[in-house]
A and B are shown apart, each in its own frame.
Chain A
Amino acid sequence: KQEVTQIPAALSVPEGENLVLNCSFTDSAIYNLQWFRQDPGKGLTSLLLIQSSQREQTSGRLNASLDKSSGRSTLYIAASQPGDSATYLCAVMGVWGKSTFGDGTTLTVKP
């Protein structure tokens, strides 16, 4: 059974700092991995999708990497802003089409 862990559960940084969020998974037989952002009381917004054959994806100030063999993905946020404050979740898609979500890292960027 796939297990997805996101550590730390919460992170607070000053504005302008570069930061890394972590996602680890136990079964490396994955199809893809997707990073989401969730604002309080709202739905999930897709940020980046990495296919299992890819090593990284970039969108603006976000860069996501994937190391399937070690069961790890990171989301790098450059020059963080208060508007980046949210909960970030990763979801691992198994080869059989089932997604497993992490519990998320709640990020606070202080002005």
Chain B
Amino acid sequence: DVKVTQSSRYLVKRTGEKVFLECVQDMDHENMFWYRQDPGLGLRLIYFSYDVKMKEKGDIPEGYSVSREKKERFSLILESASTNQTSMYLCASSLFLKGEAFFGQGTRLTVV
């Protein structure tokens, strides 16, 4: 079974802090994705990566950056956390860009 692991289930950070969300997959997938999920807005794509060191902006990249130094790990970085970044963050991976997506357990981030 594919396993996508997010480093934290819950995080509470202060406004202005730099926040790192980590995601690791164990199936040698080429593609990794970061989404955020908000009530009434559904899942929205922040960034994705189709190879090591490669990244593409999704629909809502503002205020975020990403890093993919190794194939199995994809990090989401909030450069200066703000309260409007309070959300559920979901990482996913897939073997092919249009292939079946597998999600991690989610990180509930609260920025106070």
| A interface list, Cβ under 8 A from B | 31-32, 34, 36, 41-46, 49, 89, 91, 93, 97-99, 101-104
Contacts and interface: CB of A to CB of B under 8 A. Distances in A.
B100 to A, nearest CB: 5
A4 B38 CA distance: 16
Contacts, number: 41
B contacts with A: majority SS: strand
A91 B103 CA distance: 13
B52 interface: no
Nearest to A52: B98
Contacts of B98: 31-32, 93, 97
Interface residues of B, number: 19
Interface of B: 4, 6, 40, 42-43, 45, 88, 90, 92, 97-98, 100-106, 108
B51 to A, nearest CB: 14
